[in-house]
Structure 1
Amino acid sequence: MSIDNQTSPEQDWLSTALGMYLQSKEQELFDEAVANIFGFNAVQIGLLDIDLLRNSRIPYAYRADVNAGLLRCDSTRLPFLSNSIDLLVMPHGLDFSKYAHETLREAERVLVPEGYVIITGFNPFSSWGLKRFLLKRKGYPWRANFLTLLRIKDWLALLGLELVTTRMACYSPPFTSPKWLQKFRFMDKIAGKWCPMMGGVYFLVAQKRVVNMRLIKPKWKKSKLKAQLATAPRQTSQKQSQNSIHPDEIVKNDGE
């Protein structure tokens, strides 16, 4: 949360009926997704009024934003080493980035191989996108980029991020009146079934893939020795012991 006395436009909007509607829908999606991702380090960038990592099993979680959070940074310059983050959640991170492609490129840089990034954004081909057009991109959150899902998928492919899951949410028209918003909540079930791509918000999970990388897994199954094949210990002749090579010398020679 911000330490400033004055609330930000983001906080003011999130406290409205429409803002709380969006929070509830996105919280459900994140809670389900992060529970099945494992690792050591997780980072949430933006929308810090919602704890989107509360259901994560990753032990070390950080929160970052431009003007709030434990870490204050720009999304195009994250203060993390390359290949160091297992899970990166970016709620509307591309929507409010001046350089959205660079933000996504930076996300790819900090992710470990096989790490995950979760992104939400406003869908321009929805009633939410129509309201943005009518309001001429004035006010929060209507000044956001509203990038198309097709463009995001193209960027992910170029950066070597494989799309794992795509979902939509917030099918109710973006009414400011709590009464009208509640009346149209039924559309989350109806429109979600018959017009799944018309949701006001898209939710996607992508995984960082590394070409020619092969994970080495331990061999848990050991060969069973038959009793009749077991041999008795024997003494090694002095000549053989002199000609044998100690394991330490193998490591040393390999190191040289």
Structure 2
Amino acid sequence: MTRESSIIELAQWLKSPPGRYLLGWEQVQLDRHVSDLFGFHALQLGLPQLDGLRANRMPHRWVASDSLYMPDPYDLPPVDESISTLAPHAGMALHCDFDALPFPSQSLDLVVLPHALELARDAHDALREVERVLVPEGRVVITGFNPASLWGLRQRFGHLRRGMGLGGKLFLPRAGDFIGYWRLRDWLRLLGFEVERGRFGCWRPPFGSQRWLDRGAWMDDHGERWWPVLGALYCLVAVKRVRGMRLVGLARLQKAPANAPAVVAQPRMHSQADGHDNG
């Protein structure tokens, strides 16, 4: 299965009831996480169906895709009224490889990756490229499928049935490497990132119909409290740290040791001639 067909399959799956359910949760999370991030240049890699930068007010914003396939726009949930940093989205569309971004090193303040690593040719190379283009203290926001969830479990059973020759239809898109949350944290740590926030979501059972998804809505109300790591999706925010950089504060005065000799200024003895002119 080619990458182009994988991207098309994901775009079509997102139109299904479970796809719209997940897409809505991701859009809300991206709005919340990027609204208070400041800078000048922001970039979204992949999944143009989501408007991951609509709640961010950086003046220069781009949406990049490594595929020529342009899906129809989706109906996205409205922006939360509590977010007060909205600006008209004037982002530009780019076509480029995610492991060779057309930006100078340390030139971007924010990079958003909605499912971009799962469909990348090489997730490690794409993440290293993100680290290259981010400025020190720049942020990266990543969303992805959680393999350690009921949705991931159903997907593994589907692959197992196919491997045994029993056939059957997979619940989630076929292609893509679903990267676990803790595995992704390890990758980021090796590249010098520090994870600031992480959150799971979408705890409803993996039903295919809207009717049954609605019946499982009560699980979203209790999932974050009782089984948070079993959410079908995760959203992670990390900051790029640079070694050797530290905040400079006020210098502290060091107290002299108790046994240090004290220096006493001796008064100058003036001679009688010092107060008179010669001659």
TM-score grouping bracket, smaller chain normalisation: 0.7 to 0.9
Counterpart residue identity of residue 42, structure 1? A
CA deviations 1:83-103 (Å, max 9, x no partner) are 011000000111112311111
Match of 1:182 among 203, 214, 220: 214
- 2:10, 2:112 → 1: CA distance? 18
- 2:201, 2:39 → 1: CA distance? 27
> What's the secondary structure of 2:198's corresponding residue?
strand
Match of 1:33?
33
- 2:98, 2:171 → 1: CA distance? 21
CA deviations 1:145-178 (Å, max 9, x no partner) are 1111121111111100110001001111221111
Shift of 1:9: 2.0
Match of 2:119 among 96, 110, 130: 96
Shift of 1:203: 0.7
Counterpart residue identity of residue 43, structure 2? V
Counterpart residue identity of residue 67, structure 1? S
- 2:66, 2:172 → 1: CA distance? 16
Match of 2:236?
204
Match of 1:169 among 181, 201, 204: 201
Match of 2:16?
16
- 1:130, 1:207 → 2: CA distance? 31
- 1:98, 1:194 → 2: CA distance? 36
CA deviations 1:125-161 (Å, max 9, x no partner) are 1011112112219585243211111211111111001
- 1:53, 1:108 → 2: CA distance? 19
Q: Higher relative contact order at CA 8 Å, sep ≥6: structure 1 or structure 2?
A: 2
- 2:171, 2:195 → 1: CA distance? 31
Q: Is the Cα–Cα contact under 8 Å of residues 91 and 121 in structure 1 kept in the other structure?
A: yes
Match of 1:55?
55
Q: Is the Cα–Cα contact under 8 Å of residues 105 and 159 in structure 1 kept in the other structure?
A: yes
Q: Structure 1 pair 200/142, CA: closer, same or farther in 2 (3 Å)?
A: farther
TM score, norm. by length of structure 1: 0.78
Map 1:138-177 → 2, pairs under 5 A: 141-177=173-209
Unaligned stretches of 5+ in structure 2? 1-6, 71-92, 163-169, 250-279
CA deviations 1:9-51 (Å, max 9, x no partner) are 2221111111110111011111011011000000011110111
Identity of aligned residues (%): 45
Unaligned stretches of 5+ in structure 1? 1-6, 218-256
CA deviations 1:42-64 (Å, max 9, x no partner) are 00111101111110011111000
Task: Tell me the matched-pair count.
Answer: 211
> What's the secondary structure of 2:117's corresponding residue?
coil
TM score, norm. by length of structure 2: 0.72
